[in-house]
């Protein structure tokens, strides 16, 4: 009889606890969309090349898909601030998904590694300092409890550094800050590396006088294309020639080896 009474009391306690769900906030779901066409347009802005009719220009390749991370920006129902709600692959065109109606911080990048690095204040600094691939990053706060569409501007933190392969350059340039990442040879006999720093800081093997390696250490800015040609002193008057084409943001320099 005592055992039956104890079981009855336990049953009453569980029944009482379950009644708390009656007061929980129910979070509805919504069908929302992100337009990747606009993401790509934002990424390519100011970083295009065009044919000049003399030699074929290298066309820089931008990513065609990204990962979008939807992180809750509020405590609501069963969801808490900072919780990763879902991750989707964003492809060109309209992307439609179903998510809880919440305020979100949305992070978008084509770079992937373990952990929630994309939420960090220095998230861009988590991207490789130099790369053969363009890695982009963007974030925005969107309240999907009141809207169904949203835009996240992705940005290009890299400058394209291009070094002309000529008689003076005898080997493959290497970025000093990432010695395991040599430049690659692309269209038009240019060595290319995408660099996410303020200077080129590159070692260039050369054959000129007694110089075997030349340190190219020129200032660079994100989302611009820099084309450097190393020349001997006898080939020019010694001045640096800078040609800036505003439309395509291409900067060309001749670098005399002294």
| Residue where one domain finishes, among candidates 132, 150, 168 | 150
Q: Is residue 118 located within the same domain as residue 183?
A: no
Instruction: Please give the angle made by the CA atoms of 30, 35 and 40, to the nearest 5 degrees.
Output: 150
Q: Is residue 37 located within the same domain as residue 100?
A: yes
Q: What's the chain look like in SS3?
A: CHHHHHHHHHHHHHHHHHHHHHHCCCCCEEEEEEEHHHHHHHHHCCCCCCCCCCCCCCCCCCCCCEEEEEEECCCECCECCCCEEEEEEECCCEEEEEEECCEEEEEEECCCCCCCHHHCCCHHHHCCCEECCCCCEEEEEEECCCCCEECCCCECCCEEEEEECCCCECCCCEEHHHCCCECEEECCCEEEEEECCCECCEEEEEEECCEEEEEECCECCCCCEEEEEEEEHHHCCCCCCEEEECCCCEEEEEEEEC
| Residue where one domain finishes, among candidates 115, 150, 185 | 150
Structural domain that includes position 239 = 159-257
- In a domain, residue 23? The reply is no
- In a domain, residue 1? The reply is no
- In a domain, residue 174? The reply is yes
Asked if residue 49 has pLDDT above 60, the reply is: no
Q: How confident is the model at residue 244 (pLDDT cuts 50, 70, 90)?
A: very low
Q: Is residue 143 located within the same domain as residue 185?
A: no
Asked if residue 189 has pLDDT above 70, the reply is: yes
Q: Is residue 134 located within the same domain as residue 46?
A: yes
- In a domain, residue 15? The reply is no
Q: How confident is the model over 9-22, as pLDDT tens digits?
A: 333 333 334 343 43
- In a domain, residue 24? The reply is no
Q: Is residue 144 located within the same domain as residue 188?
A: no
- In a domain, residue 51? The reply is yes
Q: Is residue 71 located within the same domain as residue 143?
A: yes
- In a domain, residue 12? The reply is no
Q: Is residue 165 located within the same domain as residue 119?
A: no
Q: What is the tally of structural domains in the chain?
A: 2
Asked if residue 190 has pLDDT above 80, the reply is: yes
What's the whole-model pTM score? 0.79
| Residue where one domain finishes, among candidates 117, 132, 150 | 150
- In a domain, residue 5? The reply is no
Q: Is residue 196 located within the same domain as residue 134?
A: no
Asked if residue 165 has pLDDT above 80, the reply is: yes
Average confidence score pLDDT of the chain: 79
Asked if residue 70 has pLDDT above 50, the reply is: yes
Q: How confident is the model over 197-233, as pLDDT tens digits?
A: 999 999 999 987 778 898 999 999 998 899 999 887 6
């Amino acid at each position: 009889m005592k055992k039956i009474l104890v079981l009855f009391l336990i049953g009453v306690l569980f029944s009482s606890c379950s009644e708390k769900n009656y007061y929980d906030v129910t979070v509805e779901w919504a069908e929302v969309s992100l337009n990747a066409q606009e993401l790509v347009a934002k990424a390519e802005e100011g970083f295009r090349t065009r044919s000049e009719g003399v030699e074929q220009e290298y066309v820089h390749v931008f990513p065609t898909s990204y990962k979008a991370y939807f992180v809750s920006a509020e405590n609501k129902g069963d969801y808490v601030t900072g919780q990763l709600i879902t991750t989707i692959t964003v492809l060109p065109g309209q992307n439609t998904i179903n998510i809880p109606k919440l305020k979100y911080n949305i992070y978008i990048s084509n770079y992937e590694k373990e952990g929630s690095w994309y939420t960090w204040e220095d998230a861009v600094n988590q991207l490789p300092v130099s790369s053969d691939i363009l890695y982009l990053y963007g974030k925005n706060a969107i309240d999907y409890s009141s809207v169904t569409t949203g835009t996240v501007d992705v940005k290009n933190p890299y400058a394209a550094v291009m070094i002309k392969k000529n008689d003076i350059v005898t080997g493959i340039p290497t970025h000093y800050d990432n010695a395991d990442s040599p430049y690659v040879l692309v269209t038009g006999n240019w060595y290319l590396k995408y660099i996410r720093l303020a200077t080129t800081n590159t070692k260039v093997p050369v054959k000129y006088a007694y110089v075997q390696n030349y340190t190219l250490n020129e200032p660079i800015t994100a989302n611009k294309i820099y084309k450097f040609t190393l020349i001997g002193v006898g080939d020019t008057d010694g001045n640096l020639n800078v040609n800036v084409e505003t439309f395509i943001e291409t900067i060309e320099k001749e670098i005399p080896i002294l």
